[in-house]
Amino acid sequence: MTLHRALQSASALILAILLVVLAFGSGVLAVSFLHARATQTQLAVVFPRPITLPDSALIAKAAILYDPTDGRILYAKNAQVPLPLASLTKLMTAEVALNHLSPDTPVRITPADLEPSGDWGLRPGDVLPLSDLLRMGLIASSNDAMAAAAAQLGSHYLDTMNKTAADMGLTKTYFLNPTGLDINSSAAGAYGSAYDIARLASVFFKQYPQYLSITTNQEVSVVSGGRTLSAAATAAPLRSLPGFIGAKTGYTDLAGGNLVVLFDIEIGHPLVAVVLGSTEQERFADIRTLVHAIRTNQN
């Protein structure tokens, strides 16, 4: 009887030890699983990793790399400073035009529309659909076309543009004309920060992706009054940029060289790069520096 009880006690002890071992093992597995999940989540949150660059790496006075997926700033140089926008203004002109008008809206060209500098071949009395004017304005940066598109919104179109900027929370941005052309030697046609422009481009791409993607074309052609008007794309130097989605260029004496570019860091994950106050040529090199840095930093 004593031996039997001893065996029972030994069996109970062994069983208890096994249960403890199993419980401990399960706990280790659970902890390991949770740690792995946490690591995966952490890795997902930090992609793409931010970059650091010396200010001297860019000619631009201000720049930003922005992730519209989660709103993170991946790089910034004077990104909150308002600067002349030049033709980056046309993103907002296109935004409000498409918000309020059908792309098929017929627009009659007036002499006032042709007052901005540049000659894209439009003539008073020509009638074009709004979509053609926006294509000319976004691809070839036609000032005449964008002036005509803005005028179609009525005499208070600048109020509409500035209210839209305020509604978007673009606190450093305001517009004095629809093209961004300098008003005189000391006043620009529009002002905004690199951060604001990155957010504007993100919204425009989300709402009207087809109007940004057309800027990857090599040229634009429209038919007006029986004439075919053609012009080269101002963003053509970026066509070889990896993951290139679209861009808008800008240049005036006061602004210098401006550029906003959307590109995929991976398929379906766009980033926005903006440079303000560069030069007419170096703005493209500045963008390539940012894109190369963010891609290299993910390896």
**Is 21 a member of any domain?**
no
Single-letter residue type at 240: S
Q: What is the pLDDT of residue 137?
A: 97
**Is 18 a member of any domain?**
no
CATH number of the domain enclosing 109: 3.40.710.10
**Is 128 a member of any domain?**
yes
Q: What is the pLDDT of residue 115?
A: 87
**Is 14 a member of any domain?**
no
Peptide bond into 50 cis (omega under 30): no
**Is 276 a member of any domain?**
yes
| Statement: residue 3 has pLDDT above 50 | no
Angstrom distance (rounded) from CA 248 to CA 141? 8
Instruction: Answer yes or no: are the C-beta atoms of 96 and 161 closer than 8 Å.
Output: yes
**Is 221 a member of any domain?**
yes
Q: What average pLDDT does the chain have?
A: 89
Instruction: Answer yes or no: are the C-beta atoms of 98 and 208 closer than 8 Å.
Output: yes
Number of domains in the chain: 1
Q: Which domain holds residue 285?
A: 52-296
Instruction: Answer yes or no: are the C-beta atoms of 70 and 276 closer than 8 Å.
Output: no
Q: What is the pLDDT of residue 11?
A: 52
Instruction: Supply the DSSP symbol for 61.
Output: S
Q: What is the pLDDT of residue 119?
A: 74
| Statement: residue 33 has pLDDT above 90 | no
Q: What is the pLDDT of residue 286?
A: 98
The pTM (predicted TM-score) of the whole model is: 0.85
Single-letter residue type at 48: P
Give the N- to C-terminal CA distance of the chain in Å, as an integer: 71
Tokens of 267: 């398929």
The residue among 27 and 97 whose pLDDT is bigger is 97
Q: What is the pLDDT of residue 298?
A: 87
| Statement: residue 66 has pLDDT above 90 | yes
**Is 39 a member of any domain?**
no
Strand 256-266 and strand 83-84: the pairing is: unpaired
User: What value does the mean pLDDT take over residues 13-37?
Assistant: 44
Interval 159-179: pLDDT, tens = 999 999 999 999 999 999 999
Phi-psi region of 71 (alpha: psi -120 to 50; beta: other; left: phi over 0): left
Q: Containing H/E element for 87? A: none
The residue among 45 and 148 whose pLDDT is bigger is 148
**Is 112 a member of any domain?**
yes
Interval 210-259: pLDDT, tens = 999 999 999 999 998 889 999 999 999 999 999 999 999 999 999 999 99
